[in-house]
Structure 1
Amino acid sequence: MEYLKLGQTGLEVSKLCLGCMSFGDSSKGFHSGWLLDEAASQKIIKKALDVGINFFDTANSYAAGTSEEYLGRALKAFANRDEIVIATKIFFGDGHSDSPNTKGLSRKAIFNQVDASLKRLGIDYIDILYIHRWDYDTPIEETMAALNDLVRSGKVHYLGASAMYAWQFQKAQYVAEKNGWTRFSVMQNHYNMLYREDEREMIPFCQDMGVALVPYSPLAAGRIVRDWTADTARSKTDQIAHAKYDATEEQDRAIVARVAELAEQKGVSRAQIALAWLWQKGIHSPIVGVTKEKYLDDFMGAFDVILSADEVAYLDDLYQPHNIVGAL
C-alpha cells in the first residue's frame, strides 16, 4: 500500500479508500439486491485492513444506517481507532423518518444526523464528514456555521463535500473563509474514465485550492473492468448505475474496449489500468467498493502500473460530453 497526505491536511491516508455502500441489511435501503450481510462485510473490511487500507467511507443513507453499524463493529474488532480514518455523509438521512428535520443540512438536521451516525459507528468522532449533496432549502451560511461548530466541538475533524456544481462548492468555501469557519478539505465527486465532466471546473478548482480529490465510482460500477455482456448481481439490480451509464452505453463500450486492449498489452488487469489512470489525473484516493476479497488483491497491482502520456491520450480520445450525473 502507498499513503499520502490528504490535500492540504495533515491526515495521512491510503491511496485506496474502501467504500461501504455494498454493506448492509438487505431488507433495507434502495440497493438491496447486491448488499453483503454483516459476516461477508466483515471479511471484506478485514481484508482491506490486511492490504494496508486505513481509509473507510460510508454514509447514513446506506442501507438505512446499517452500513455504518457493520463498519463500526468490524473496525472495533479488527483495528486500532487511532490508526484508521472513518468518513461518513449526511444529507439524505437514514430513512427512518420522512420528517424534514431529519434530513437536509439545517443546523438541527446536521446535529441530529451526526449524533445518530456516531452512535451507529460506535465512535466518539468522525474523521471526515461529507455533505452528501447541496441543500437548496437551507442558507449555506447556516450549514457552514453548524459544520464549523461540529469541528470545534471535536465530534468531526475534517469536512468534505460531494457531488455538486463547482459554483456551489466555491460559494461554500467563500462563506467559510469570510467568517473564519472551517473550510472543506475534501471533494468526493463522480469521476472515472467514462464520466469526466468535472474536468471542466470542479477538478481544476480543487487542485488550485489544494482540496483533496476522493472520487466515488472510480470503476463506473464495474463497467470499466468487466466484459460488457457480463452478468453480475449488481449489474442486474443496481438502478443507480443504470441511471448513470445506460444513456451513454455506445460510446462507453468503445472506451472499455480500449481499456481491455491496453490491459492485455501490458499484462495487467483492467482495474489496474483504470486506477493508474485516476492517479495520473491527480486523484488522491479513489473510493473502491468490492463484494469479493480477490478484487482488493487485484487493485494492489495498480501501484506498479505507469501509463505513458500517449496511453492516457489513447484512453481519453473517445470521450464525449455527458449530461451531469451526481449533482442535484
Structure 2
Amino acid sequence: MQYRRVGQTNIEISRVILGCGCFGGIGSEPSLFDRAENEEQAHEILDAAVRLGINTFDTADAYGGGRSESYIGTWLKKADEKLRSKVVLSSKTYNPMFTGDSSGLSRGRILERVDGTLQRFGVERLDMYLSHEMDDKTPLEETLTCFDELQRNGRIRAFGASNISCEELERSLLICESRNLNRYEWVQNSMSLLGYQEAEKILQICSKHGLGFTPYSPLAGGWLTGKYQRGLHYESGSRMSLRPDPYEIFVQNQDSIFDGLDSMKKFSKQRFGDVSLAGISLAWLLSDDRITGVIVGPRKPEHLEPVTEALSLHLNETDRVDLAHLFPKL
C-alpha cells in the first residue's frame, strides 16, 4: 500500500480509501436503510481492507442513518490499540439522517452532528470532516468559521469539502485567507474514466493551492467493472437495481460505453496481460500523482481484489490518454 499526506496537514492516508457508504444502507437514502451490508458483513470488509494496508475509512453521518459510523465504531472497539492508532476516520455531514430530518451546514447543525459522529465512532477527535454537499441557504462564511472552530478546539484534525464546484472552492479559499481561518485541505468529488472533465478542472485548483483530492465512485457505480452487459439486466442488489438515478447518463450513452469497455479489454490484454477492468480503472486514477487517494466501496471482501492489481501497475501518460479516449466525454 502507498500512503500520502492530505493537503498541508500531517494526516497520512492510504492511497486507497475504504468507502463505507453501503454499511447499513445504500448511501444517504432513508428508503434504502438496512438494504445493504449488516454489521457483521461490514466488519468482514473492514478486516479485509486492513489486511491490504488500507488505514482510512470514509463515511458520513447519513449513511445508513448513522449505522455506517456505528458499525465502524463497534469494529474499532474490538481492534487492538496498535491498529486503532493507525486508523484515519473521515466522515461528512449535510444530508438528513432520517425521513423528516433537517439538512444543511449551519453552525448549530454542524456542532450537533459532529457530536453524534464522535459518539458513534467512540472517539474524542475526528481525523477528517467534510461538508457532504454545499448549502446555499447558509452563508459560506458561517460554515467555514464553524469548521475552523472545531479544528482549533481539537474536535477535528482537518476539514474538506465533497461535491463542491470550482467557484465554491475558490471562494472558500479566499474567505479563509481573508479571515485567517483554517481552510478546506482537500476535495472529494466523483471521478472516473466515465466522468473526469469536471473533476480535472477542480483538480487543477487543488494542485495550485496544495490541496488534496480524493475522488469517489472510481468505478462509476460498477459500470467500469464489466458487471453490466448490453441489454442492461441488473443484478439484484446492485447500485443500478437499487439507486439508478446517479448513473442515468451512462444508460443514455450505453452503446458508446459498452464499445469502450470492449476496447478496454483488448487494451488491457495487449499491454498488461490478465488484469481486470476494475484494476485498470483504479490504476488510471492512482497513476495521476495529483490524486491523494481513491475511495473504493466494496460490497464484499473479494471486491477489493482489483485494488491489489491497481497498486502493482503504473500507467504512463500514453496509457492514460489512450484509455481516456476509449470513452465518450460525459
Specify if TM > 0.5.
yes
1:280 is aligned to 2:291: no
- The answer on whether the counterparts of 1:44 and 1:292 sit within 8 Å (CA) in structure 2 is yes
- The answer on whether the counterparts of 2:30 and 2:97 sit within 8 Å (CA) in structure 1 is no
**What's the counterpart of residue 276 of structure 2?**
269
Change (3 A) 1:283 1:150: same
Q: Distance in 1 between matches of 2:323 and 2:58?
A: 28
- The answer on whether the counterparts of 2:94 and 2:104 sit within 8 Å (CA) in structure 1 is yes
Q: Distance in 2 between matches of 1:251 and 1:217?
A: 20
- The answer on whether the counterparts of 2:60 and 2:68 sit within 8 Å (CA) in structure 1 is yes
CA offset at residue 256 of structure 1? 2.2
**What's the counterpart of residue 6 of structure 2?**
6
- The answer on whether the counterparts of 1:259 and 1:274 sit within 8 Å (CA) in structure 2 is no
138-147 vs 193-202, which deviates more?
A: 193-202
What's the C-alpha RMSD, in Å, of the aligned pairs? 2.0
- The answer on whether the counterparts of 1:276 and 1:303 sit within 8 Å (CA) in structure 2 is yes
* The one of 76, 84, 106 aligned to 2:87: 84
Q: Quick one: which amino acid aligns to residue 89 of structure 2? A: I
CA offset at residue 244 of structure 1? 5.4
SS of the residue corresponding to residue 172 of structure 1 reads helix
**What's the counterpart of residue 44 of structure 2?**
43
272-281 vs 232-241, which deviates more?
A: 232-241
Runs of 4+ that moved beyond 6 A: none
Q: Quick one: which amino acid aligns to residue 40 of structure 1? A: Q
1:94 is aligned to 2:97: yes
CA offset at residue 204 of structure 1? 0.6
Change (3 A) 1:190 1:30: farther
CA offset at residue 296 of structure 1? 1.7
- Aligned pairs (5 A) from 1:284-323: 284-322=292-330
- The answer on whether the counterparts of 1:103 and 1:113 sit within 8 Å (CA) in structure 2 is no
TM-score, normalization by structure 1: 0.91
**What's the counterpart of residue 326 of structure 1?**
none
Q: Quick one: which amino acid aligns to residue 256 of structure 1? A: L
- Aligned pairs (5 A) from 1:110-129: 110-129=110-129
SS of the residue corresponding to residue 298 of structure 2 reads coil
1:247 is aligned to 2:252: yes
Q: Distance in 1 between matches of 2:203 and 2:228?
A: 28
Q: Deviations over 1:219-262 (max 9, x none)?
A: 11111012431743213223344345323323322332233222
- The answer on whether the counterparts of 2:25 and 2:63 sit within 8 Å (CA) in structure 1 is no
Change (3 A) 1:76 1:256: farther
234-243 vs 204-213, which deviates more?
A: 234-243
**What's the counterpart of residue 151 of structure 1?**
151
- Aligned pairs (5 A) from 1:160-239: 160-229=160-229, 231-232=234-235, 233-234=237-238, 235-239=240-244
Q: Deviations over 1:270-314 (max 9, x none)?
A: 121111100122322110000111122331121111223332222
Q: Distance in 1 between matches of 2:64 and 2:245?
A: 14
SS of the residue corresponding to residue 222 of structure 1 reads helix
Q: Distance in 1 between matches of 2:197 and 2:120?
A: 35
- The answer on whether the counterparts of 1:7 and 1:210 sit within 8 Å (CA) in structure 2 is yes
Gaps of 5+ in 1: 323-328
SS of the residue corresponding to residue 221 of structure 1 reads helix
SS of the residue corresponding to residue 201 of structure 1 reads helix
Q: Distance in 1 between matches of 2:36 and 2:8?
A: 35
SS of the residue corresponding to residue 220 of structure 2 reads coil
Q: Quick one: which amino acid aligns to residue 91 of structure 1? A: Y
Q: Distance in 2 between matches of 1:215 and 1:143?
A: 22
Q: Distance in 2 between matches of 1:200 and 1:272?
A: 21
Change (3 A) 1:278 1:172: same
How many correspondences in the alignment? 318
SS of the residue corresponding to residue 64 of structure 1 reads helix
- The answer on whether the counterparts of 1:141 and 1:175 sit within 8 Å (CA) in structure 2 is yes
- The answer on whether the counterparts of 1:30 and 1:63 sit within 8 Å (CA) in structure 2 is no
- Aligned pairs (5 A) from 1:10-25: 10-24=10-24
1:260 is aligned to 2:265: yes
Q: Quick one: which amino acid aligns to residue 105 of structure 2? A: L
Q: Percent identity?
A: 29
CA offset at residue 47 of structure 1? 0.9
Q: Quick one: which amino acid aligns to residue 87 of structure 1? A: S
- The answer on whether the counterparts of 1:46 and 1:78 sit within 8 Å (CA) in structure 2 is no
Q: Distance in 2 between matches of 1:88 and 1:244?
A: 28
200-209 vs 151-160, which deviates more?
A: 200-209
1:68 is aligned to 2:69: yes
Q: Quick one: which amino acid aligns to residue 94 of structure 1? A: M
